[in-house]
Structure 1
Amino acid sequence: MSRKMIAGSAIYFVLGALMGMGMSISEDYTLSPVHAHINLLGWVSMALGGIVYHLFPNAAASKLGKWHFWLHMIGIPIMMAGLAAMLLTGDKAMIPIVSVGSVMVVAGVILFMINAFKHVR
């Protein structure tokens, strides 16, 4: 699980860096909130989760760890796609999409917390 988390974080790190570079080149910072969320939720949070799972293999091997990973990996793209579409078009109809992705990520974070309390010793 730690390898999956760190590999996933690396994907988000590249995406965040490319977004930042693209915004700088175009001088259009409309998607700054997406850039920030990809870097913090994707790169930083997943990398730290991967380190925790490396240090505590029982947490990594648990069902909570697996659910945390998949909710995070699926929730972030859903949330970011909806947020990007809403920022670019101003269409508030994207709010439910952002909300679905957000609920998935928050559920994953809560499972990570429960996992930490149960298996990190």
Structure 2
Amino acid sequence: MSRKMIIGSTFYFVIGVLMGMGMSISENYTLSPVHAHVNLLGWVSMALGGILYHVFPAAGASRLGKWHFWLHMIGIPIMMAGLASMLLSGNMAFIPVVSIGGVMVVVGTILFSINAVKYVR
């Protein structure tokens, strides 16, 4: 799980950096909230989770670790697609999409916290 988390985080890092570069080149910062969330939830949070799972392999091998990984890997793109669509279109009908992805990430984060309490010794 450690490897999956760290490799997954690098994909979000590339996406976040490319978004930042694209916004700088175009001088259009409409998607700044998406850029920030991709970097923090995708790159930083997943990389730190991967490091924790490397240091405490029982946490990474647990069902909680697997659920944490998949909820983040699925929830972040859903939330970011909804947020980007809402910011670009101004259409608030995308709020449920943002919310679904956001709930997935929050549940994954709660499972990560429970996992840390249970296995980090």
Q: TM-score range by the shorter chain?
A: over 0.9
Whole-Å separation in 2 of the counterparts to 1:119 and 1:64: 10
Note the alpha carbon deviations across 1:33-77, whole angstroms, 9 max, x for none: 000000000000000000000000000000000000000000000
Gap regions ≥5 residues in structure 2 = none
State how far apart, in whole Å, the 2-side matches of 1:44 and 1:57 are. Answer: 19
Helix, strand or coil: the match of 2:28?
coil
Please list every run of at least 4 consecutive aligned residues from structure 1 whose deviation after the TM superposition is greater than 4 angstroms.
none
Q: Which residue of structure 2 aligns with residue 57 of structure 1?
A: 57
Deviations 1:61-116 (A, max 9, x none): 00000000000000000000000000000000000000000000000000000000
Q: Distance in 2 between matches of 1:3 and 1:61?
A: 11
Q: Secondary structure at the match of 2:29?
A: coil
AA aligned to 1:82 is G
Aligned identity (percent) is 79
Q: How many aligned residue pairs are there?
A: 121
Match of 1:9 in 2: 9
SS at match of 1:21: helix
Provide the TM-score with structure 1 as the length reference. 1.00
Which residue number corresponds to residue 108 of structure 1? 108
Three-state SS of the structure 1 residue aligned to 2:94 is: helix
